[in-house]
Amino acid sequence: MIFPLILAVVAASLTAACIGMLALWLLPAREFPVQASIFADTGSETLFLFDGEIMVDSTANARALLATSPMKGPAWGRLMAFLTARFEDLEPQLQRLQNDGAIELPSVGSAKPLILRAEHAGGLTKLTLIDASKDGHVTGGDAIAQRAMLDELTLLRDTVATAPMLLWRENVAGDVVWANGPYLLQACAVLDDGKELGWPLPRLFNRAAAKSGKDQRQSLLAVGKPALWFDISSRAEADGDLMFAVPADAAVQAETALRDFMQTLTKTFAQLPIGLAIFDRQRKLQLFKPALMDLTQLPADFLSLRPSLLAVLDAMRDRKMLPEPKDYRDWRRQIVEIEKAAATGLYDETWSLPDGQTYRVVGRPHPNGALALLIEDISSEMLRTRRYRADLELGQSVIDHMDEAIAVFSQSGQLVMSNNSYAALWAHDPAETLGDNTVRTLSAHWRVQSAPSAIWAEVEEYVATVGDRDSWRGEVRLLDGRLIGCKFAPLAGGSTLATFRSMPPAESGQTRLAEGAGLRRA
């Protein structure tokens, strides 16, 4: 019972399918209307219709013209790129359409001129491109699109031929199958005498280096000419490689000059006895001079690890190359102050080391937060200073033990030295105000303490005299009645020595007074 039922269902389905297919074959096909272009009857003209910047319709030639544009994007932008290069002041002219209704523009700078006819009506802009012949009629076909392609091809050829770089194309086998003008000129320059260019074109650069995937710098040598440098890059294509060689002579010369300058600077710094350490903004050592190792006794392997500023100072402390603080807390505080003061350019201190050496340490900030420390050994300078001070103290001690009152004046008349006997004799200690004492101010004090005498004017003139001078003597009477013998003598460097001594009555009259004429003067 079931099997006959299944057969009946299958037969009914096949019958219905056959009836449907027969009906489709017998009935006429239903046609749907296709909207035609409004420019269907314009023939071979190049027409565009825009609503603002949106293209509403165009002819086949117009669409072919847009297809030749290398630009991507809306039709208005591609058309304006084509027209702007051929029609002068295009945008201001198109803005006149709403007022004038229609304009007509001729192209400029072309052997075969074009004419652009623009009309504005009903809110739409109609642009017509006309390839004008000698009689002013419109030519047929897609001549404008072809001319656009030819113009672009000519522009590309001129650009490649005059590009300030070498361009060439290689096939899969590595043969140079095409090259631009600069490449051919260089190829001719490196040819041997009597040889001509052949096919395939000669190779100028190493192919393996050029195809390494990284930009390469190679030199090109020509007979009797200096080496030319080029930066070479490549772009892989399906049938080979497109190669580029950009001149790099200026970059090579600049790098060579910089390298020579750095070598000279390095040698100069290496010969200076000042230690230099430069730390970056993280206070890691980036650069140091060999003199730093001699001054700090830090090994080269330690410095080459780029230690931090704190690590460098800790290592110097371990080697007793830093002033030893009273406690560790004070030491850490001092380290922080050194860094802060050096970063602001205010750190300039003298370190007295335990072994007797004296260092001058200067901190200077550098751009990008870097820090430079300069360490100079001034032990010999400090030793000379100490010896000079010791000599001065010794000389002062010697004259302080002399009975005679002594005063020494510089060539400019400034008091530079006096002893205790001078302070006792004249009731005046110039050491308290040494910078304000000159021969003029002291002679005024002497006049007040003594009887009227012309000797003080002579002293002022004698001290101010430049050149050879003879020593001379004189006598003055103090207000308390004591007779004082004075002697004035020249010293080295134009200085003057003045001595004062109380004279016993027996010696009175034996010394020539200053009031007398005939003083021996230079």
* Half-sphere CA count of 220, side-chain side, radius 13 A: 24
- Domain spans of the chain, in order of start: 46-155, 164-251, 272-377, 395-507
**Strand, coil or helix: what is 427?**
coil
The three-class DSSP label of residue 299 is coil
Domains 164-251 and 272-377 share a fold: yes
Q: Which residues of 6-17 are buried (b: 16+ CB within 10 A; e: fewer)?
A: eeeeeeeeeeee
Q: What is the bridge-based pairing of β-strands 358-365 and 348-352?
A: antiparallel
How close are the terminal C-alpha atoms of the chain, in Å? 164
Q: Chain-centre distance of CA 85, in angstroms?
A: 40
Give pLDDT, residue 38: 58
Phi, psi at residue 124, to the nearest 5°? -110, 150
Domain 46-155 has CATH 3.30.450: yes
CA-based nearest residue to 61, from 78, 40, 45: 45
What pLDDT, on the 0 to 100 scale, is given for residue 499? 93
3-state percent helix, strand, coil for the chain, nearest multiple of 5: 40, 25, 35
Q: Are 88 and 103 in contact (CB under 8 A)?
A: no
Tokens 């002291």 sit at which residue?
442
pLDDT at 21: 56
Write down the pLDDT at residue 31.
Answer: 43
Domain 164-251, second-level architecture:
2-Layer Sandwich (3.30)
pTM, whole model, 2 decimals?
Answer: 0.43
Predicted local confidence at residue 134, as pLDDT:
45
Sign of the alpha-carbon torsion through 458, 459, 462, 463: negative
CA angle 407, 410, 415 (to 5 degrees): 45
- Amino acid letter for position 374: L
Task: State the Cα–Cα distance between residues 360 and 299, nearest whole angstrom.
Answer: 21
Q: Which helix (H) or strand (E) holds 168?
A: strand 166-171
CATH architecture observed for domain 395-507:
2-Layer Sandwich (3.30)
H helix intervals, 45-138: 60-67, 75-84, 90-94, 97-100
The tokens of 12 are what? 């009914």
Residue (of 414, 391, 432, 397) closest to 493 by Cα position: 414
Is residue 366 within 8 A of residue 376, CB to CB? The reply is: no
Q: What is the pLDDT along the chain (522 residues), one digit of tens a residue?
A: 444 544 454 455 556 555 655 554 444 444 444 445 555 555 567 888 898 888 888 888 888 888 877 667 788 888 887 888 778 888 888 888 888 888 888 887 665 678 888 888 888 888 888 876 544 444 444 556 666 666 666 666 767 777 778 888 888 877 888 888 888 888 887 777 767 777 777 888 887 655 655 668 888 887 777 888 888 888 888 778 888 888 888 888 898 898 888 888 777 777 778 888 888 888 889 888 888 888 888 988 898 889 988 888 888 888 888 777 667 667 666 666 766 766 666 778 888 888 888 888 888 887 777 888 888 888 888 888 888 888 888 888 888 888 899 999 998 889 988 989 988 888 888 877 656 788 999 999 999 999 998 999 999 999 998 888 899 999 999 988 889 999 999 998 889 999 999 887 655 544 444 433 333 333
Residue in 406, 441, 425, 439 with CA at minimum distance from that of residue 482: 425
Please name which of 91, 114, 117, 93 lies closest in space to residue 104, comparing C-alpha atoms: 117
Long-range contacts of range 293-301, CB-CB < 8 Å, 24 or more positions apart?
Answer: 295/321, 295/359, 295/375, 295/377, 296/321, 296/375, 297/321
Alpha helical stretches, state H, 344-419: 379-400
What span, in angstroms and rounded, lies between the C-alpha atoms of 441 and 443?
6
**pLDDT value for 381:** 83
Using CA atoms, how far apart are residues 405 and 385, in angstroms rounded to an integer? 28
Tokens of 222: 């020509």
Residue-level pLDDT at 487: 93
The structure tokens listed for 232 are 């070479």
What letter does residue 431 receive in the DSSP assignment?
G
Cβ-count burial of 283 within 10 angstroms (0-12 exposed, 13-18 middle, 19+ buried)? middle
**Domain spanning 272-377: CATH 3.30.450.20:** yes
User: Which structure tokens are listed for 92?
Assistant: 């201001």
Centroid of chain to Cα 31: 76
